[in-house]
Structure 1
Amino acid sequence: MSNNVNWSDLHSDVLQLILERLNIITYVRTRTVCKNWYAVCKRITSVQEKSPWLIIFPAGRPKCGSCVVVDFSTVPLTGIYKFYSLHNLGDDFSTHRCIATSGSWLLMLNPRSSLYVLNVFTRERIDLPQLESHQGRLRIERRQETTFIINKSLVTARNAINKTNAVLWVDEKTKRYIVVWSIGFFYMMYTRSGLDFWSEIPTREGPENLHGCQDIAFKDNKLYVLSRQNQIRILDFSQELPLALANNVEHQPFTNERPWRVKIGVTVSGHVLMVKNRVGEGPKMLKILKRDPEGTSWDTVESLEGEAWIMDLGVTIPAVNWTKPNSVYICKDKLVYLGDVSTRELRKVLDLNWDRRLSHARWFFPSLREL
């Protein structure tokens, strides 16, 4: 066989079969080989990893527009994490913080407390409305470069990051999006594609009756809010305006367990989960409960029945490929944990504190749709 093979002339059907089996990083690189290969890539409607990856963000450094992603699928076979670098994400990228993800889209918060959405593979960017555009009872006014006022309360960018909850949803095909953001416990707002302003989600009055926000999750056009009154409120975002549903979940069972941090999630079938995880000093533990079918009590979950909970995304997924079933994937700043639901133990799988150039990490599902 001749070594002078022109790989750009490889039969398109054969090439497509090969490309469909590549991981997303290799696929993105393959698109740039030549025009013929790029044309075949355009025939592939979408590429999406079935197992979660880790994205690691840089610490604030001048003109650092790169980040690192980690493919965990190689670990079961080789015991080695596979790292890839992504570049050209913007000169100021390292000074911004990711607060939510949807596929390969990141919801970023910059030092001036402005938000935007960025695709780490295509570099597409969606600038969200400025907070001053807010329509509701909140009065927002900027002071200096890193602070702004909500009503009469002065909020710094640091506090906004440390006390924020956010969810992001992006349709890969149409680029339609929904963003919900809360600052502290009592200020929630949302925007979506087609709007040039932020709207308030009332937390202290009105039919939503949220009474504050401890955590939020989003699935199938429904926003799940864990309120300060230890209830889970459900808002339907399928219409133009979010609508509070009647099937709220009341009386969460973790009210007085101070050493624990409460998070909520939604299973593939739509059941609401609640977890307390302890990742500070002492034993690393987690405890998951699920509302029983009659809605009268919370039952301890000893198995996710073949699913895995990606806590950064607030949802469970089918445990296929290299995703470990009955596990909880957790990131806390520069520490990455894997929890076992049956034993309730949290095991540290990656510690990034050894590198000062790194800031924080999040789980995400790399995806790319060809248009």
Structure 2
Amino acid sequence: MDMPNDLMREETRRKVSENHDWSKLCPDLLRSILESLSSIDFHRTKTVCSDWYSIWKTCVKRPLCPWRIIYVKDSLMLFNPGEDKIYEGTNVGLSKDSYYMASSGNWLLMVDSHLGFYIFNLLTYKRIDLPSMESSIRGGKVRFERSMGQWGHFVEPCRKDNVSKNFIICQRLAVLWIDERAGDYVVAWIYDNHYLFSCKKGDDSWWNLNDHWNMGSLNLSFLDLAYRNSKLYLYTTNGHIKIVDFSGNDPIEVIEKNPYWEHPFRCLLKEGDYICKKKMAIQKSGDVLIIMSIFSLSKEKLLFYIFKLNLESNIWERVESIGDDEMLIFGHGVTIKAPVQDVGDGIKSGSIYFATVDSRPVYDCTVSSCGVFDLATSITKWPKKDSFNNRFVITQWFVPGFA
């Protein structure tokens, strides 16, 4: 008995589907498909398999355009200014009581009210839980205790400090680095300028780096931190910069090849200029930048000054540019390859992207907007108002695809 035509066609489609390896599509065809996708789907496709990732790398490169994360009461949205498009429902897997700390490419470092840290991929929704702060902390002399009705406290032999949500959320002194292909990651964060913790892939507990190098005896506190090329940079309250190498099994301080330790950052400001915040960023070249957000009374506006150590004179000098193809997000910790031409909202090379919550000293994390500061003109552009601006909690820049 012959099989009906429609059943034959269905059986043929089923066999083709079963026998065809979709990772082995014709490269030209696959490349054409990938390049036609929306930005968010375009970045997702590189995680499908190694063959798709290889083709993805050969696609027409889209500029690393900063997006905005929009936090609303019960959800999170992404706004791509290049497409003028909002992506909703991107918080599947995020804990309701968790807060943003840092980002690396498509990944966010989040913390909840139990001081539980995890890494979350905004595009694939993958989540990586980090060791509990309540477990044994390597380096000793400090432990975390959770308490009812508040976040908890750090306990030392002669000291007990309450963990404040204000310090955690408003200061956001943390860095995240992750290799999307290998899955390796490094996380470091500072609490109350005094406690310094880190962990990397494979660790089952956090490092207490203060006592690891006996820094408590040096009476060092920290203003900021940054991470690039397996090195953690720590900017201390007395202007010095420490460098820690994370390429081995355990973090090791770099001493002989650290040109910044003997030359602390100092600067004199004009009368009427007041420092809001100081941040550090590492360029592709490995040079360290100190970025200060300044409120100028004479000009009645927010400014950003950038300083770089002249390695010949050993003097910190103010620079007017960070390069023809670099930009930076204030507090992100590294410079990023930028589109040279303006793609809208002032997004181009030679710009600093900031959130108002990161450029003012007051602890108000309930309202925030984003701006773009052009270093060449000292002009700030405020992205156009969107329908979500009346109901957002806070906004933050991030750069999908950056690694």
Say yes or no: TM over 0.5: yes
| 1:265 aligned residue | 281
Aligned counterparts of 2:89 and 2:62: Cα–Cα separation in 1:
17
Structure-1-length-normalised TM-score: 0.81
Q: Whole-Å Cα distance in 2 between the matches of residues 132 and 166 of structure 1?
A: 19
2:173 partner SS: strand
Cα RMSD between the aligned structures? 3.4
**Is 1:87 aligned to residue 90 of structure 2?**
yes
Q: Distance in 2 between matches of 1:248 and 1:203?
A: 23
1:338 maps to 2:372:
yes
CA distance in 2, matches of 1:122, 1:261: 33
Secondary structure (helix, strand or coil) at the match of 1:300 reads strand
Which structure has more RCO (C-alpha within 8 Å, separation ≥ 6)?
1
Q: Kindly state the Cα deviation for residue 38 of structure 1 after the two structures are TM-superposed.
A: 9.6
Shift of 1:320: 3.0
C-alpha separation between the residues in 2 aligned to 1:105 and 1:347?
26
Q: Distance in 1 between matches of 2:306 and 2:94?
A: 41
Structure 2 partner of 1:129: 131
CA distance in structure 2 between the aligned counterparts of 1:15 and 1:293, rounded to whole angstroms: 50
Residue of structure 2 equivalent to 1:54: 67
CA distance in 2, matches of 1:196, 1:236: 19
Q: AA paired with 1:125? A: R
The residue matched to 1:358 in structure 2 has which SS? coil
**Counterpart pick for 2:40 among 16, 21, 25:** 25
Distance of 1:69 and 1:185 partners within structure 2: 31
One of 270, 278, 288 as aligned partner of 2:306: 288
Residue ranges of structure 2 left out of the alignment (5+ in a row): 1-12, 358-367
CA shift for structure 1 position 285: 0.9
Partner SS, residue 113 of structure 1: coil
Superposition pairs of residues 28-47 of structure 1, within 5 angstroms: 41=52, 44=55
Q: Would the alpha carbon gap of residues 255 and 167 (structure 1) be closer, same or farther in structure 2, given more than 3 Å must change?
A: farther
Counterpart among 315, 327, 330 of residue 334 in structure 2: 315
Out of 301, 318, 325, the residue aligned to residue 349 of structure 2 is 325
Seen in structure 2, the aligned counterparts of structure 1 residues 295 and 318 have a Cα distance that, compared at 3 Å, is farther
Tell me if 1:142 matches 2:146: yes
Tell which deviates more after alignment, 43-52 or 11-20. Answer: 43-52
Deviation at 1:280, TM superposition (A): 9.6
The percentage of aligned residue pairs carrying the same residue is 26
In the alignment, does 2:29 pair up with 1:15?
yes
Residue 176 of structure 1 pairs with residue 198 of structure 2: no
Cα deviation 1:207-228 (Å, max 9, x = unaligned) = 7958111111111111111101
Contact 2:274-2:296 within 8 A present in 1 as well: no
Q: Aligned partners of 1:40 and 1:336: how far apart in 2?
A: 38
SS at match of 1:217: strand
Please give the alpha-carbon distance, in whole angstroms, between the structure 2 residues aligned to 1:207 and 1:226. 13
Name the larger-Rg structure: 2
Give, in whole Å, the separation in 2 of the partners of 1:169 and 1:111. 23
Asked if residue 162 in structure 1 is aligned to residue 170 in structure 2, the reply is yes
Post-superposition CA distance 1:229-288 (Å, at most 9, x none): 111111111111212212152321247865331111111111111111136993121111
Counterpart of 2:316?
Answer: 298
Cα distance change, pair 183–347 in 1 and its aligned pair in 2 (3 A)? same
Cα displacement (A) at 1:125:
0.7
* 1:70 to 2:85 alignment: no
Q: Is residue 275 of structure 2 the alignment partner of residue 277 of structure 1?
A: no
- Separation in 2, partners of 1:153, 1:217: 25
User: Residues 87 and 260 (structure 1 numbering): CA distance in 2 closer, same or farther, change over 3 Å?
Assistant: closer
Q: Which runs of 5+ in 1 are unaligned?
A: 1-5, 32-36, 75-80
Q: In the superposition, relative to structure 1, how do residues 30 and 178 fare at CA in structure 2: closer, same or farther (>3 Å)?
A: closer
Question: 1:127 Cα shift?
Answer: 0.7
- Kindly tell me: are residues 28 and 85 of structure 1, through their superposed partners in 2, closer, same or farther at Cα, counting changes over 3 Å? farther
**Residue 198 of structure 2 is aligned to residue 190 of structure 1:** yes
- CA contact 1:204–1:212 (8 Å) conserved in 2: no
Moved more, 276-285 or 217-226: 276-285
- Return the letter of the residue paired with 1:305: G
Residue 73 of structure 1 aligns with an amino acid whose one-letter code is G
The worse-fitting range, judged by mean Cα deviation, of 165-174 and 142-151 is 142-151
**Pairwise CA distance, 1:336:** 1.0
Report SS of the residue matched to 1:273: strand
Cα gap change, 1:200 to 1:349, in 2 (>3 Å) = same
Task: Report the CA distance between 1:189 and its aligned residue.
Answer: 0.2
Go from structure 1 to structure 2 and tell me whether the alpha carbon gap of 1:252 and 1:166 turns closer, same or farther (over 3 Å shift): same
Q: Structure 1 residue 297: deviation in Å?
A: 0.7
- Which residue identity is paired with 1:16? L
TM-score (norm 2): 0.75
- Quote the residue 1:3 is aligned against: none
Deviates more, 1:150-159 or 1:231-240: 150-159
> Offset of 1:40 from its aligned partner?
8.1
